[in-house]
Chain A
Amino acid sequence: MIGETPTPTVSALAHQFDDLTQQNEADDLGMWLFLSTELMFFGGLFLAYTVYRRQDEATFAAASQELDLFWGTLNTAILLTSSLTVALATHAAESRQRQQLIGLLTATIGLGSLFVSIKFMEYHQKYVHGLMPLGGLPFHWDGPSPAHAALFFDLYFLMTGVHALHMLIGLVILLVLLVKAIRGGLLGDHAAPVRVTGLYWHFVDVVWVFLFPMLYLIGAR
C-alpha cells in the first residue's frame, strides 16, 4: 500500500530496502532462486527422458534421426547470439546508453522470435510426416517399437514445447522492457529489470544447450 507507483522522478529504491546495493542483491538472489525452481521443473522432464531412453536406446536413437539437425543447429546459434545481445543490453542499461539498450533489446526480441518461428516450423514438419503423437493425430513408425518411438516424440514435444513457452514468456517481458526503454527508463540505477530478465534469458538458453544434444545429437549420427 505504500506507493510504489512510478512517477517521472521516482527513486529506484523501493521503500522496504535501505540502499540500492541491498535492493540489487535481493533482486539478483530472487531471480537465482526462481531459476533454481525452473531447474527442478525441467528436471522432472529430463528424468522422464533419461528413464525411457535407458529402456530402449536403439529406438530413441532412431527416432532422434528424424529431427532436423540443420534447423536445430541454426536455432542453437540464434539462441546463443541472443544471449550475447541480452548481456550487452544489461551493460548498456547500466552504463546509461539508451540507444544501444533499445537496439540490443530489439535484437534479442528478433532473435528470440526467429528461434520460436523455426521451432514451430519444425513442429509443422513433424506433423506433416506423421510424427506428432499428440491428441490422437496419426503417428507412423516403421521401426520395431512404435510405442517407444511415440514416447520419444511425446517427450520431444513436451520438452521443446515447455522450453518454447518459456521463450514466449521471456519475449513478452523483453517487449515490456523495450517499451520502458523507449520511454527513457531502465537506465543506471533502474537497470535491475534488464539484468534480472537477462539472467532468465540465459537460463532458457542453457536449457536449450542441454535439450539440443539430448534430443538431436546423442546416438543419432
Chain B
Amino acid sequence: MTILVAPESAATPSQPRTQQRNYLTDGYSVRSWLLTTDHKRIAILYLLSITFFFLLGGAAVIVVRLDLMTPQADLVQSETYNKLFTAHGVIMVFFFLIPSIPAVLGNFLVPLMVGARDLAFPRLNLLSWYVYMLGELFTLYALLAGGVDTGWTFYAPYSSTYSNTYVMATAVGIFITGFSSILTGLNFIVTIHKMRAPGLTWFRLPLFIWALYATSIIMVLGTPVLAITLLLVGMERLLGIGIFDPRLGGDPILFQHLFWFYSHPAVYIMILPSMGVVSEIIPCYCRKRPFGYAFIGFSSVAIAVFSFLVWGHHLFVSGQSIYAGMVFSMLSYLVAIPSAVKVFNWTASLHKGSISFDTPMLYALGFVGLFTMGGLTGLFVAALAVDVHVHDTYFIVAHFHYIMVGGAVMGYLGGIHFWWPKMTGRIYPEGWARLSAILIFVGFNLTFFPQYILGYLGMPRRYHVYPPEFQVLNVMSSAGASILGMGYFFPLTYLSWSLYFGKRASPNPWRATGLEWQTSSPPPTENFSETPVVLDEAYDYHRFDSLAATEGGGK
C-alpha cells in the first residue's frame, strides 16, 4: 500500500542478518511475557489463549456430532447434550471468535500498520488480556463444576429462574470478558485516530484498519449492553428481582431485545475483521490495487452502523409486533448492500489481476464463496414468512456457521498464514498449508451444507433425538466435521513445527505493500527504527512491482 521514503533502507540491511534483536528475543523470562506492554507480545498471549479455547469448544462439538450420528440418544443424555452445545456456543462465540482477529492479528498489526510504536494505551492492552483470562477462569469453573444448559443465548426466564446449572459463573465470566473486548476496541479507535504516521491519511490506511475501526465501534457501543443484560439476569437469580420474570410483572421479551442488541452486532464483530483480512490478502495475491478502495472501507462502517438496527429479526416468532417485524426485516435487508459491495469489489479486484493461489489466497477465496452463501441465506431468514418456517431449525445453524466458520474462521486462518512470517520470522510449509486449506473448505461444506437441507425439512436445532429419515444428512454432516477437524489439526501441527524448523522469513516474503512489511520479521520491540513517512496511496502494487523490477529489489 504505502511506499516509504526509502523502502530499501528497511528491507536490505536486515535481510542477511538472521539473529538480530526482535520483540521475541527481547527478554526470555516468564515475567517478561506476563508483564509485557508490547502489543506484539500481548497478541501472542492472546493467540495461545484463544487457541486453547478453540480446542476446548471443538472438543465439545465432537461429542455433539458423534451423538447426532444416530437418531437415538445413545451416546449422551439429553441434559449432557444441552450442556455440550451450550459449552460449544459460549466458548466459540465469546472466548474464541470475538477476540480472534481483533485481539491477535489486530493487536499485532494495528500499531505496525499505522506506523506507531505501540497502541495508545499499552498497559490497558495488557489489562485486557488479564480481564479475558479472569473471565476464562469463571467459565472454566462453570464447565468443570457441571456445565450450563441454557444455550449460548441465555434466554430468560429459563436462565434467570429455572435452570439449576452454573448460569451465574458463566454469566460472570462473559460479563468480565466483555470488558476485555471493550478495552481492545477503545485502544484501537484511539490509536487509529491519534497515532497514524505522518502522511498516513484515512484514505491511505489499509482496509484491515478500516474494518477493525468499524469492529471497534461495535465493541465499544454494543458490549456494555450485553453486560447490563447479564447483570440483570444475575440479579434476578441472586436477589429475585423480576425484570425478566413474568410472574413478577417482568417481560422475557425485553431480555431478547437487550441480548440481541449486542449479540447481533457481535456477529459483525466476528465477520468484519475477517473481511479486513481478505481485503489485505486479495490485492497482494493478484498484484493489484483493490477495486473501489473507498467503497470497501466505507462499507465496513456502514455494516457497523446497520448492525445496531437489525436485532429484532431474532424476535420474529417471539411475539414482537408484526409492524416491528416488518421494519426489522427491511433493515436487515439493508445490511446486504454493504456486504454485497464488498463481495463484488473483491471479485472485481481479481479481474485482470496476476493471481497466484498461495495459502492465504485460498483461504480468502474460500471466504468470499462461503460468506456469500452465508449472507444470501441470511436474506432468506430475514424474510418474515420464510423465517417462520426455518426459525430455530438447522437452517439457522447452517446459516450462522457459514458466516462464523466459513467466514470468520477462514479469514482468521488466512490472516494467520499471511502474517505468520511477520509474527514469528518463519515460513510455514506451503504444501501442507494448501492441503489443509482445501481440506477445511471441503470439510466445512460437507458439514454444514446438509444442515441447510435438514433445517429446511424441519429438523429443529438443539435436539439430539430425531426421526430416522434425517439420519443420512446427519451422518454426512458428522463425516464432514471429522474432515474439518483434520483440516484444523494440520495448521496447529505444521505452524508449531515451522517455529523451529521453518525457513527464516525475509522482511517482506509476499512482496506486499503496507508498513508492517517495511520492518524486519519479526519486528523489533519498537516496531520501526525511525518513524515511517507515508507518501503514497494504499495497495500501489503496480508501482511496487515496477519499482522492484527496475531495481531488482523486492524478492
Q: Could you say which of A65-73, A120-128, A150-158, A207-215 contacts chain B?
A: A150-158
B residues near A1, Cβ cutoff 8 Å: 26-27, 32, 35-38, 41, 525
Which residues of B have CB within 8 Å of A134? 239-241
- Rounded to whole angstroms, the CA-CA distance of A4 and B121 in the bound complex is 11
Cβ of A29 and Cβ of B254 under 8 Å apart?
no
Query: How far does the Cβ of B241 sit from chain A's closest Cβ, in whole Å?
Result: 4
Taking each of B35, B242, B249, which has the highest tally of chain A beta carbons within 10 Å of its own beta carbon? Answer: B249
In the complex, which of the residues A15, A51, A55, A147 contacts B118, with contact meaning CB atoms closer than 8 Å? A15
B185-228 to A contact mask, C-beta < 8 Å, 1/0: 01101110111000000000000000000000000111111011
**In this assembly, does B533 line the interface, its C-beta being within 8 Å of a C-beta of chain A?**
no
Q: How far is the CB of A66 from chain B (nearest CB, A)?
A: 17
Given known pairs A30-B190, A33-B189, A36-B221, the reply for A44 and B258 (CB within 8 Å) is yes
Contacting A at CB under 8 A, from B14-40, are 26-27, 32, 35-38
Q: Is A47 an interface residue (CB 8 A)?
A: yes
A16 B249 Cβ-Cβ under 8 A: no
Q: Helix, strand, loop or mixed for chain B's interface?
A: helix
Q: Give the Cβ gap from A139 to chain B, nearest Cβ, in Å.
A: 10
Within 8 A of B (CB), among A120-166: 133-136, 145, 147-148, 150-151, 154-155, 157-158, 162
Q: How large is the interface on A (under 10, 10 to 19, 20 to 34, 35 or more residues)?
A: 35 or more
Within 8 A of A (CB), among B486-531: 525-526, 531
Mark out the residues of chain B between 241 and 261 whose CB falls within 8 Å of any chain A CB in the assembled complex.
241-243, 248-251, 254, 257-258
| Nearest CB in chain B to that of A42: its residue | B228
B254 to chain A, nearest CB (A): 6
Q: What residues of A have a CB within 8 angstroms of the CB of B186 in the complex? A: 30, 33-34, 37
CA–CA, A206 and B193, complex, Å? 27
Interface pair B35/A41, CB less than 8 Å apart? no
Q: Is A48 an interface residue (CB 8 A)?
A: yes
Is B243 touching A151 in the complex (CB atoms < 8 A)? Answer: yes
Counting CB contacts under 8 A, is B117 at the interface? Answer: yes
Chain B residues with Cβ under 8 A from A2's Cβ?
Answer: 37-38, 525-526
Which residue of chain A has the shortest Cβ distance to B261 in the bound complex?
A: A44
| Residues in B neighbouring A182, C-beta threshold 8 A | none
A26 interfacial by beta-carbon distance below 8 Å:
yes
B119 within 8 A of A: yes
Chain B contacts of A38 at CB under 8 A? 224
CA distance A43 to B220 in the complex (A): 13
* Separation of A22 and B37 alpha carbons in the complex (Å): 19
Contacting pair B41 A33 (CB below 8 A): no
Contact indicator A148/B116 (Cβ below 8 Å): no
Q: A residues within 8 A CB of B119?
A: 16
Q: Is B232 on the interface with A (CB-CB < 8 A)?
A: yes
Question: Any chain A CB within 8 A of the CB of B182?
Answer: yes
Whether a CB of chain B sits under 8 angstroms from the CB of A220 is no
Interface residues of A in 13-51 (CB under 8 A from B): 14-18, 22, 25-26, 29-30, 33-34, 36-38, 40-45, 47-48, 51
Q: Judging by beta carbons under 8 Å apart, are A147 and B242 in contact?
A: yes
- 28 chain-A/chain-B pairs, Cβ below 8 angstroms: A1-B525, A4-B122, A4-B123, A14-B122, A16-B118, A16-B122, A25-B194, A26-B121, A26-B190, A26-B191, A30-B120, A30-B186, A33-B189, A34-B186, A37-B182, A37-B221, A41-B227, A43-B225, A47-B257, A48-B243, A51-B254, A134-B239, A134-B240, A135-B239, A151-B242, A151-B250, A154-B243, A158-B235
Which A residues are within 8 Å of any B CB, using their own CB?
1-2, 4, 14-18, 22, 25-26, 29-30, 33-34, 36-38, 40-45, 47-48, 51-52, 55, 133-136, 145, 147-148, 150-151, 154-155, 157-158, 162
